[in-house]
């Protein structure tokens, strides 16, 4: 975005002087993220139901017990009551397991595939040792 003099400006610079702009912009992104997640909306509905009817009724109606309700409430409290706190987080492990294959085997398979490029991962008739099976070749070949 450029102004009349041709100087480059940003939206933050333009709207940054409005009081509360930063908080509103963060809240809008939080609300957009919340609106896209049906799971978060359902969790908010369950929390409202729990506040109104109690734990036993919530357990009967939704199958959600008190422990999970407290976890969701704590996430809301720690994130400043932002609805995006109820959006489920990724369940991917932080550290993934690394492939444990001997580098000599990897080199052997690469050289063999350069010679015969049509060999697949299931073809283990070429292996010199019976210890190299298709389960070991599969991660290397892909």
pLDDT at position 139, please?
66
Residue 45 lies in a domain: yes
pLDDT at position 73, please?
94
Same domain? For 15 and 82 the reply is: yes
CB count within 10 Å of CB 35 equals 12
Only one residue has tokens 């729990």, namely 50
pLDDT at position 29, please?
64
Residue 1 lies in a domain: no
Q: What is the CA radius of gyration of the chain?
A: 28
Alpha-carbon distance of 115 to 117, in angstroms, equals 6
Alpha-carbon distance of 124 to 127, in angstroms, equals 6
Residues paired with 2 in a beta bridge: 8
Report the chain's terminal Cα–Cα distance, integer Å.
46
Q: How far is CA 22 from the centre of its chain?
A: 26
Same domain? For 80 and 110 the reply is: no
- The one-digit pLDDT tens for each residue of the chain (142 residues) are 455 555 555 555 555 566 676 777 666 666 666 666 788 889 999 999 999 999 999 999 999 999 999 999 999 999 888 888 888 888 888 888 887 878 888 888 788 878 877 766 665 555 555 556 666 666 666 5
CB count within 10 Å of CB 92 equals 6
pLDDT at position 74, please?
95
Same domain? For 18 and 76 the reply is: yes
pLDDT at position 85, please?
87
What is the domain extent for residue 107? 103-141
Same domain? For 35 and 75 the reply is: yes
Query: Is 107:94 a contact under the CB 8 Å cutoff?
Result: no
pTM for this one?
Answer: 0.47
Q: Is 37 exposed, middle or buried (0-12, 13-18, 19+ CB in 10 A)?
A: middle
pLDDT at position 32, please?
63
């Amino acid at each position: 975005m450029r102004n009349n003099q041709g100087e480059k400006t940003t939206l933050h610079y333009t709207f940054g002087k409005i009081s509360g702009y930063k908080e509103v912009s963060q809240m809008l992104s939080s609300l957009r993220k919340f609106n896209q997640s049906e799971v978060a909306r359902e969790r908010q509905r369950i929390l409202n139901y729990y506040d109104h009817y109690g734990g036993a009724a919530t357990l009967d109606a939704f199958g959600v017990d008190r422990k999970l309700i407290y976890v969701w409430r704590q996430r809301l409290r720690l994130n400043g009551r932002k609805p995006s706190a109820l959006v489920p987080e990724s369940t991917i492990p932080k550290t993934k397991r690394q492939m444990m294959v001997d580098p000599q085997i990897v080199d052997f398979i690469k050289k063999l595939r350069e010679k015969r490029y049509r060999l697949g991962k299931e073809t283990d008739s070429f292996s010199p040792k019976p210890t190299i099976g298709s389960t070991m070749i599969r991660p290397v070949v892909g």
